[in-house]
Structure 1
Amino acid sequence: MKKIYILITILAFTAASCKKSFIDLSPNDSVSPGTFYKTESDFRQAIAAAYAPLQDLSVNDYFTSEMRSDNAHYQPYPSNRGTAYVQREAISDWVDDPTNAYTNAVYFHCYNGISRSNIVIGRLAAVNLDVNVKNDIDGQAKFLRAWNYFKLVRLFGAVPLYLKEVTNAQEAFLPRSTVDQVYTQIIADANDAIKELAPPAKFPQSGQATKGSATMLLADVYMTQKKYAEAETLLSTLPAMGYGLNAEYADAFSTTNKNSKESIFEIQFLQGTDKGTQPSNFIYQFLPRTKNTGIITTFGTTVVATDNSGTGGWNTPTQDLIDSYESGDKRLDASIGIAEGTYNTSDLFTITANKSIVNYTPADGKVGVPYIKKYLHTHITANNTNDNWPVYRYSGALLLLAEAQNEQGKSGQALTNLNTVRARAGLPASTATDQANLRAVIMHERRVELAFENQRWHDLVRTGTAIPVMTAYGAKAKTIYKFLPGNAFGINNNRLLFPIPQSERELNPDLTQNPGYF
């Protein structure tokens, strides 16, 4: 797994987005690209660097892919109206614009990963290495390029299609390709990755992309395109690769069970302070803003406490989501906890107790603030945790397969896959057979099974339910959140896409803007 964490010299000369900095390939403190990219070791380091932007993406994508939906909101901070707070709140409130640093960061991190993948793919073709080695590295690079473009096309629509290393200014400024052109390339790359990559050799896995990762990605693409038969064929190959459900839902997120048989692809993090470690800190972002996190982030006799008032308060589970869990669903307690306490006059929270959300009632004079519990695990240093970020899990594959089958009128097969997931959650089997009813049941199941894994927004958009669901949620939110701006939740089709970053359009006059933004 440490291969994913290698810090390599080419990080210095790969760019964050498609700008003029792309052509600055030889800073003084880096190895020249003319002498690197020769050996298997060189390319292993280079492909590890192509994974690195996923870590940066994971700390921004929950704003666009989770908080944009009805699953999560934020803790208000009216006493601090700094730009960083206002811009993050704006995404959840549907009032963001092309200068928003956090939607823009998703765009830039995706292109950073694409740039590094392009370098690997292009340079690899020119060297003489063992064919199995080349296939493995090329397959990983194409998976990463495809995944990043899939994220971009769903969030931003038509985007520039960079498919080779940028070596001069002319190559750095491309117009937007059509959505169809982007999807054609995603499918081509994913198919290549499926052919070139091997299934997981063992569990736990290394953390690198596998044939299973690429298969799941392509199935996700086909579901977005409503190619249900093609998606069903792909998803049906996953069990033979060794994937399966863990015994308990919480096992999928345990830091002692990373890259398990349920993991099809997850973004790797490694706690610690040694060179090469790259810790996560999700729990500190998802707890309410407080001067002392200790009541929740202390484990046995290991006291871990910090002031997260500058980082916390985000991705707070909504009451709408909490109310959607069925009675007896074990995933509720595994996914969400309650920080109980009081707010001070500076809008900071003093935590006095850590409570279960099941049948929770606030103590007298206290407030219960829900937080995402599935990323709370033992660690010894604040803001230095070992949690990976799940991208694709086998339970999600089963539910996607159920959806594909239901859309083809195969309700019996769909129910089998749906109920496999429900059984683990401690729920009775669904008996819905009417296609429309079963469709709604599967969507609900995906919502609670994959909550806080950056799937909800994409599910709403691809199924055509984003406008009605978010219109209803927005009306409800306005009655709950009295602090919302007057123009919050202006739900319309234009805002199903985020704006192209204004900074990119200023550099590249060929870039047009999405409708509804200026």
Structure 2
Amino acid sequence: MKIISINVIVVLCSMLLFSSCVKQVLDKAPVSSFSAEDFYKTPADAQAGIYGIYNAVQSAFRINFAYWGEGRADNVQTTQSGEGLILTQNNLNESMTSANWTNLYTIISRANYAIKYIPNAYSGGNGGAQLIGQAHALRALAYFYLVRVWGDVPLIVEPYNSIDQDIFVAKNSSEEVLDQIERDLKLASANCLDRFNSDNDRVMFTKGSANALLTEVYMWRKKYAEAVTSSALVLNNTLYSLAKTMDEWGKIFTGGYSSESILEVGYNETQTNSLRVLYAIGSDPVFFPSVKFRASYEKGDLRIPYVYDTTIAQPKAIWKFLGKGVSDEDPSPSAQNIVLLRLADIVLLRAEALVKLGGASNIAEALSLLNSIRSRAGLPAIENEENAAARYGNLELAILHERSIELCFEGKRWFDLVRTDKAIATMSPINGLSDQRNLVWPIHVSTLNKNPNLNQNDFYR
């Protein structure tokens, strides 16, 4: 099944930009245009094609990582009248910018071309396998956001290269799409490099980042035994280690390329993102810490002064990505990387999976993992399930609370609420969310207008 928007057709049939998120590639001039089938002639062409996919990732996540992952959840508030207010009040509509999936399908279309044609650039053997592995992982990343945001979506695994192909297509079920995501990530895990031994270890897919994303997919699908297996591969990977001090923790986001980071979307002074607009610009950012969030953390948590200014009654700037004490009047675009996956995320997912599986040894390990994150934040250990129950209701809720604090504003909270079936209970008192069909976004009106075989998601009809 295929869906092709006008923008995607242009990408598929005429050009790939190959500026990338990798430092040395950012300085290269773009190629004007080419036929994708004819482009993949040499290994250098194949590498350029992969850089073109990462370039599309930059565009897709520069602001939407927060709209999709934070805007509808309980950790943020807004005083703006635009997209932030639409999301926080749960008044989603088919014209809002975060309802447009074009940039994600651009990632997919470029990945499909790379997967099909990179073998043309190698004269035999296994040449290009690690590049093809990256393309599969990038396609999986895009589809994982699509299925979590919109539910059932069109599944495209071949490039559009003939006028005989059907461009007006219907949706595939979310389970079909998730099955494909798993296949892509397993292939990526088998074929991606262990490491690049450079900053590329953090901004390009490796075996470790493929396994980390696979862990998130397994948790979304409630495949807890599989999540324990894949998370072990991440935790045992010597490429990753937890930041030891709070200053090191802060630099995960402000400096990038830390040992705790697993996958970042890379930016620089030329290719910037909207972190300042989202979290810090002037006295009116898109999002600021909600009253509920500020009341939820434990006294003495060493992370909080790195997240926002605790000395004022109503903090507006979120410092986490931009730096402790950042001037909230700075209107400049942000060059900081966006951290999509990091080790603490996988540690806490593993702890949650172990609790779901149960058993004394699993519970003991889950407590140890949870306390490794709490200890770094200067918090006392949760010693047993009874201790967790007294504080948060049960151990699973203690882990979910820890994710809310540790991963705050990183684009995780909404997805955590949905996958743990807590979105309605959490958000109903805040914005009236009450219908399971309302958990997904509407499909953008421009996409519906281009494809008569696509139906709007049920809640928004």
Structure 2 residue 40 is matched with structure 1 residue 47: no
SS across alignment from 2:339: strand
The 3 A distance-change label for structure 1 pair 433 and 42 is same
SS across alignment from 2:14: coil
Residue in structure 2 matched with residue 340 of structure 1 by the alignment = none
**For 1:298-317, what aligned pairs fall within 5 Å after superposition?**
313-317=285-289
Give 1:429 deviation, angstroms: 0.6
Which structure's CA Rg is the greater one?
A: 1
Q: Which amino acid aligns with 2:347?
A: L
Residue in structure 2 matched with residue 25 of structure 1 by the alignment = 14
Distance (whole Å) between structure 1 residues aligned to residue 444 and residue 339 of structure 2: 27
Residue in structure 2 matched with residue 148 of structure 1 by the alignment = 142
Q: What are the superposed Cα offsets for residues 214-272 of structure 1, whole Å, 9 maximum, x if unpaired?
A: 0011111111111101100110112332111012245345277422220111110112x
Equivalent residue for 1:370, pick from 316, 321, 329: 316
Size of the aligned set, in residue pairs, is 428
* Structure 2 contact 276–285 (Cα < 8 Å) conserved: no
Give 1:278 deviation, angstroms: 1.5
Structure 2 residue 419 is matched with structure 1 residue 462: yes
Q: What are the superposed Cα offsets for residues 64-98 of structure 1, whole Å, 9 maximum, x if unpaired?
A: 21011001121235xxxxxxx2x442122111112
The 3 A distance-change label for structure 1 pair 214 and 129 is farther
Give 1:287 deviation, angstroms: 2.2
Residue in structure 2 matched with residue 90 of structure 1 by the alignment = 86
What is the TM-score when the length of structure 2 is the normalising length?
0.86
Distance (whole Å) between structure 2 residues aligned to residue 24 and residue 193 of structure 1: 26
Residue in structure 1 matched with residue 401 of structure 2 by the alignment = 444
Structure 2 residue 183 is matched with structure 1 residue 188: yes
**For 1:240-279, what aligned pairs fall within 5 Å after superposition?**
240-242=236-238, 243-254=240-251, 257-271=255-269, 277-279=270-272
The 3 A distance-change label for structure 1 pair 496 and 17 is farther
Distance (whole Å) between structure 1 residues aligned to residue 433 and residue 37 of structure 2: 52
Q: What are the superposed Cα offsets for residues 403-450 of structure 1, whole Å, 9 maximum, x if unpaired?
A: 010111121110011100111111111124268600110000000000
Q: Which amino acid aligns with 2:271?
A: Q
Distance (whole Å) between structure 1 residues aligned to residue 380 and residue 157 of structure 2: 48
* Structure 1 contact 17–109 (Cα < 8 Å) conserved: no
* Structure 2 contact 139–184 (Cα < 8 Å) conserved: yes
Q: Which amino acid aligns with 2:155?
A: L
Q: Which amino acid aligns with 2:285?
A: G
Give 1:289 deviation, angstroms: 3.9
* Structure 2 contact 57–265 (Cα < 8 Å) conserved: yes
Structure 2 residue 369 is matched with structure 1 residue 417: yes
Distance (whole Å) between structure 1 residues aligned to residue 339 and residue 442 of structure 2: 26
Give 1:108 deviation, angstroms: 1.4
Give 1:57 deviation, angstroms: 2.3
Residue in structure 1 matched with residue 25 of structure 2 by the alignment = none
Give 1:513 deviation, angstroms: 1.9
Identity %: 31
Residue in structure 1 matched with residue 24 of structure 2 by the alignment = none
Higher percent of residues as strand: 1
Q: What are the superposed Cα offsets for residues 325-347 of structure 1, whole Å, 9 maximum, x if unpaired?
A: 1001111111122xxxxxxxxxx
Residue in structure 2 matched with residue 164 of structure 1 by the alignment = 158
Distance (whole Å) between structure 2 residues aligned to residue 95 and residue 256 of structure 1: 33
Q: Give the superposed CA RMSD.
A: 2.6
Structure 2 alignment gaps of length 5 or more: 17-30
Q: Which amino acid aligns with 1:189?
A: D
Q: What are the superposed Cα offsets for residues 144-187 of structure 1, whole Å, 9 maximum, x if unpaired?
A: 00011011001101100110111235343221011111011000
Equivalent residue for 1:508, pick from 441, 451, 455: 451
SS across alignment from 2:317: strand
